[in-house]
Structure formats: structure tokens, C-alpha cells
Amino acid sequence: MQELIENFTKHISESITISKSSNLSAFSGKVENVLICGLGGSGIGATIIAQIVAQDANCPVTINKDYKIPAFVNQNTLVLCCSYSGNTEESLEMLEQAQAKNAIITCVTSGGKLEEIAKAKNYNHIIIPGGHPPRAAFGLAFPTLFTILKHYSVIESDYTDQFNNSISTIDAEEENIITEAKSITEKLMNKIPVIYADANYEGVAVRFRQQINENSKMLCWHHVIPEMNHNELVGWTKKNEDLAVVIFRNEDDYFRTQKRMEVNKTVFEKYTSTIIEIHSKGNSQLERALYLVHLGDWVSLLIANKKGIDVTEVDVITHLKGELAKI
């Protein structure tokens, strides 16, 4: 896992090359809406891209992480099916329903049944390198989503320049990122992380939560501002030093949200002494998001190492899949 995290920017660069060389069939129609189907490590990229392209996309981009697809899906809907293994049962069921609705289907996978179906049905698809835990393939899968949305004219740019800027920033800051990750790790040991971020960066908070869950084998939760100011903030009423607040900060966080964060800290301070602020680097939302994703991945790995646990082990998920296979 450490090697995979170290190769994060190499994965992004490799994915851009793969995306640009993919032979996607021409499309002359008009996409009225987009549904991206994917779960876990295969779906987090969809969560993040939907927020990044919100001001660029010319139609709604919706994420689906379930067995059933929404009723709005029709022949003018671009359904993007993402499954790293190609065998995620929920994604395959969503694909089957999208086929029944004659949707415009495109797939991102490393193989499995999804690749077989894509090739048999002649669907546009991008194949990425396999053999990794899905959560560690984020850098390989994420850029392909931009390529596909650009191909179908949902967005005007594939964001290559921003990806390249991100690669340069992360590579230049890698030593500092690891140093900060070590400091954060020390503060999170034996704590329950409570993760907060501006609503526009919720995908980054979700990614960190998922990595803490899978890599560090810990429970935690996340919420976003301003929404949590209308509910969860009231729940801070009892001293609990087992909790550690992690706040993701970005220079483009809405100014009123930034003020909310400052006021929120005065509340948190009454109930826990562990409050960690993580500031992103980069000149765009995409760059800042990737910076935080990478730093968070390092933290999840370092916690696992410090706890002496197998970071790649997901036996409980394997058990669950085995039980479901009996149905």
C-alpha cells in the first residue's frame, strides 16, 4: 500500500495517457443528464468529480451508490458505470437497468464482467491497470471520468492542465506532506476522527473517512459546513477526549463558511482538546482536492503502520461477499 500511495502522481499521469489513447466512438447526440454508478473505492471519484464540475457541466451530474437507478434515466442519460474489479454486483445490476432504459452507457474498469459486457455490447469503455485494492486505484480511475464527460460534451475541458499542475505540486511537496501526515497521525492515535469540510469538498472528507475505515481499521464520521451548523453542532454538549476534530481548509471555501469554521472551533474546544486543521495547496478545486486526498491517504497508512495492522486486509468485506454469493 505504501508503494501505491507513493505512486499516486504516477498513476494520475498514467491514467491521462490511457484516457487520451482510448478509442472512444464518436457521439453526435446530446446528453441531458449524467448518472455515475459506483461504490467504495470505485465510486469515490464520482463523488469528487460531481462537485468539481458543478460549475462547468451543462447538465446535472448525479451519483448512484445502490442497486436501483433513478426513474429519470432514459435514452438521453449518460450512465457511467465504474467498477475497478468489474464484478461489483451493485454496479452490474445498475448497468442492467440502464440497458433496459436504452441509456448511453460507458464503462471504466480493469476487467471482469463489466469489461466483458462493454466489449460484447460495443459500449465505450476505458480499461485501467488491475491488480490493486480498488481504493488504491483512485489515481488510475479518477482522470478517466473527466475524459469521458469531455468526450460527451458535458464539460468543455478534460482538466489535463489542472491534473499536471497537481502532479507538480504534490511531487514538490511530498516530503512536507509526509511530515504533516506523521504529525496528524500522532494526534489521531487512539481517537475517533470527526471530519469536517466545506460542502464543496465533501468528497474529500468522504475519501478520508473511507481510508481511515479500510486502511486504519477505525470508525469515524464526517459532516459538512454549513449543513452541520443546523443539526450536528448542537450535539457537541459533552466532554469527550476520545474525539479528534479534523477540519479540511481551502482558500476557496466560501467566506461565510470560513467564518462558521472559526466559530465552530470555539464550540469544539469546549469538548475536546484535539482539533486538527489541514490546509490544502493548489490553484484550483481539483488541485486542492487531490492534495488533500493524497495527504489523507498517507495518514491512513501511517496510522495502520503505527497500530501494527495489515493495511490491505478487508476480511469482513470478503466474508460479506461470500454470504451474498449464497443467495
Contacts of 267 (CB under 8 A, 6+ apart): 233, 236
Q: Is the peptide bond before 193 cis (omega within 30 degrees of 0)?
A: no
Contacts of 227 (CB under 8 A, 6+ apart): 199
Catalytic residues: 214, 230, 321
What is the DSSP-derived secondary structure letter of residue 70? Answer: P
Side chain identity at residue 32, one-letter code:
E
Please give the Cα distance from 35 to 148 (Å, whole number): 12
Please give the Cα distance from 103 to 42 (Å, whole number): 21
87 in helix, strand or coil? coil
User: Within 13 Å of residue 202, how many CA atoms lie on the same side as its CB?
Assistant: 14
What is the DSSP-derived secondary structure letter of residue 36? Answer: E
* CA angle, 135 then 139 then 144, to 5°: 110
DSSP readout, 175-196?
A: HHHHHHHHHHHHHHTTSEEEEE
Which grid cell sits at 142? 479518477
Residue 46 burial class via C-beta count within 10 angstroms: exposed 0-12, middle 13-18, buried 19 and up:
buried
What is the DSSP-derived secondary structure letter of residue 157? Answer: -
Contacts of 147 (CB under 8 A, 6+ apart): 19, 20, 22, 126, 158
